């Protein structure tokens, strides 16, 4: 259970990086990005299929995060660190998209499970099976 919680935490932290990257690319979305994600999380009921995709993507993102954390620690200089972050973010976005979810949906589910212990439990069960 603790391992999964750590996995979800890593995924959500990584998703935050992805969200920041996506919002930085869209100047208008940057100002309202977090509010939009929170509103979407509260307004949507996610299907089991979406939650399973979230669980799968979270596992992949946690692995990517772990790999790139090591590279980030070894990077020398600010530009090298930024290059590692950029590459890691791209890999995380790809992992989410390959799971069949949009980044925005992934982030909304992440917000929703933080606010809903029952949903968190469902996702944990899906990830363990």
pLDDT at 28: 37
Segments forming the whole domain that contains residue 13: 2-128
Q: Which is more confidently placed, 128 or 78?
A: 78
Q: Which is more confidently placed, 29 or 33?
A: 33
75-121, pLDDT tens digit by residue?
A: 999 999 999 999 999 999 999 999 999 999 999 999 999 999 999 99
Q: Please give the tally of structural domains in the chain.
A: 1
41-83, pLDDT tens digit by residue?
A: 444 689 999 999 999 999 999 999 999 999 999 999 999 999 9
pLDDT at 128: 82
Please give the model's pTM, rounded to 2 decimal places: 0.69
Question: What would the 3-class secondary structure string for the chain be?
Answer: CHHHHHHHHHHHHHHHHHHHHHHHHCHHHHHHHHHHHHHHHHHCCCCHHHHHHHHHHHHHHHHHHHHHHHHHHHCCCHHHHHHHHHHHHHHHHHHHHHHCCCHHHHHHHHHHHHHCHHHHHHHHHHHHC
pLDDT at 49: 94
Give one word for 26, left, alpha or beta, with left for phi > 0 and alpha for psi -120 to 50. Answer: beta
């Amino acid at each position: 259970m603790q391992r999964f919680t750590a996995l979800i935490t890593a995924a959500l932290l990584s998703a935050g990086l992805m969200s920041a990257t996506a919002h930085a690319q869209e100047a208008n979305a940057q100002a309202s990005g977090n509010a939009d994600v929170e509103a979407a999380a509260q307004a949507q009921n996610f299907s089991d299929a979406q939650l399973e995709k979230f669980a799968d993507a979270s596992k992949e993102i946690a692995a990517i995060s772990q790999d790139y954390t090591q590279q980030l620690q070894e990077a020398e200089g600010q530009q090298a660190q930024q290059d590692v972050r950029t590459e890691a973010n791209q890999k995380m976005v790809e992992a989410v998209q390959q799971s069949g979810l949009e980044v925005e949906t992934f982030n909304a589910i992440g917000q929703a499970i933080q606010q809903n212990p029952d949903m968190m439990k469902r996702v944990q069960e899906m990830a363990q099976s």
